[in-house]
Amino acid sequence: MDVALKIWRFDPQTGERELKQYEVDAPEWACLLDVLDIVKDQVDGTLAYRKSCRMMICGSCGMRVDGGAVLACKERMKPYADAGHVPVVSAMGNLPVLKDLVVDMDPFWSKMRAMKPWLEPGYREPEEGKEFHVSEAEVNVISKESLCINCGCCVSECNSMESDPEFLGPAALAKGMRFVGDARDQQAVERLESYNSEHGIWDCTRCYFCQERCPKGVDPRDAIAKLGAESIKYGIDRDMGAKHAKWFVTSAKTTGWLRETELVPKTQGVVSSIKEMKFAMSLARRGKVPPPVPPHVAKDVKEARALYNIVKSQGVHGAAGIVQGEKALSRIEFIEEQAKREGGTE
């Protein structure tokens, strides 16, 4: 097949950037990495990019296609060729570009190191025999996080990191959850204390771009949510983000709606509320503040309360609660899809 693509080249010697178009003949099964190899072999040997395994496992070949991060060895080129679209290939975002499609991964690795990505089992001895026994339910809490291949695609698309390069970021925090949630690890509280500091978990804007772009299904945003839930479970709730999360729960179980008018006084205190009064008044004048009395109560709030009470009585707190919720949602989706399929075959 005929494949055309544009590549943002960067020459570190001159500091110049240039968008260059290449057209090559490639087999129909070719992925982006194969096409880059053909360009390098047959057209321009100076093109720089990283690769190793060619099978989506080493994490070396992260780059952007049309502005979104992908693994070059996972991205099929046939759909582009069939559509007559010329994709624009560039280096990953949020990391300094060294040459063409090669980025400096040092900031990525230093954040990974800050997570202390190794087990700290303490001096605990296995209870019986020679091994620690970890149940399936315990493994489920970190099964997605364990799939990370350190490719950096999530970091490339992270909104928070773009505005604050010091933000720990989705990859490092997913790695953090992999160890916080490990039943054998004895340092969960110490780890959570450090992830709750400045540039930590509560600085995530929940844009979900990391989740959308991760090629391995790690779901880093979910990992950050689990770290938040674990922090609150251990009473680490000094950050404003944690206080907001707790107020969301209180709102949901009392009225079924987020009681925004009470959010600032309940989480930031009276002094902050007075400072925000002028802003609140201007919102009220534009009809954007619902009257606090009588409280707006959702029609099915009893269901929300019953659900809260069931989950509470089961004692499934923190990350385990999130995993239980994910499983319940996927079961509902499965049943709905099955019903649609059966409806369609009748």
Pick one of 24, 72, 102, 214: the residue that binds ligand SF4 (CB under 6 A): 214
Does position 60 interact with ligand FES (CB under 6 A)? The reply is yes
39 versus 63: smaller Cβ distance to ligand SF4: 63
Pick one of 149, 177, 192, 245: the residue that binds ligand SF4 (CB under 6 A): 149
**Total chain residues near ligand SF4 (CB under 6 A):** 27
Nearest distance in Å: CB 73, ligand FES: 3
Q: Is 319 helix (H, G, I), strand (E, B) or coil?
A: helix
Residues 39-58 contacting ligand FES, CB under 6 A: 51-54, 56-58
Q: Which two tokens stand for residue 138?
A: 């315990």
- How far apart are the C-alpha atoms of 94 and 162, rounded to whole Å? 6
DSSP of 114-148, one letter per residue? HT--S---TTPPPSSTTS----HHHHHTTTTGGG-
Cβ contact 319:280 at 8 Å: no
Nearest distance in Å: CB 43, ligand FES: 20
DSSP state of 58: S
Does position 177 interact with ligand SF4 (CB under 6 A)? The reply is no
Q: Binds 210, which of ligand FES, ligand SF4, none (CB < 5 to 8 A, cut-off by type)?
A: ligand SF4
How many angstroms separate the Cα of 194 from the Cα of each of 168, 219, 277?
11, 21, 34
Nearest distance in Å: CB 266, ligand SF4: 24
Helix axes 318-345, 301-314, angle to 10 degrees: 120
Residues 65-84 contacting ligand FES, CB under 6 A: 71-73
DSSP state of 91: P
Does position 105 interact with ligand FES (CB under 6 A)? The reply is no
- How far apart are the C-alpha atoms of 200 and 242, rounded to whole Å? 12
Helix axes 240-254, 301-314, angle to 10 degrees: 120
Does position 171 interact with ligand SF4 (CB under 6 A)? The reply is yes
Residues 300-319 contacting ligand SF4, CB under 6 A: none
Contact residues toward ligand SF4 (CB under 6 A) are 148-154, 157-160, 170-171, 174, 204-210, 214, 216, 218, 220-221, 224
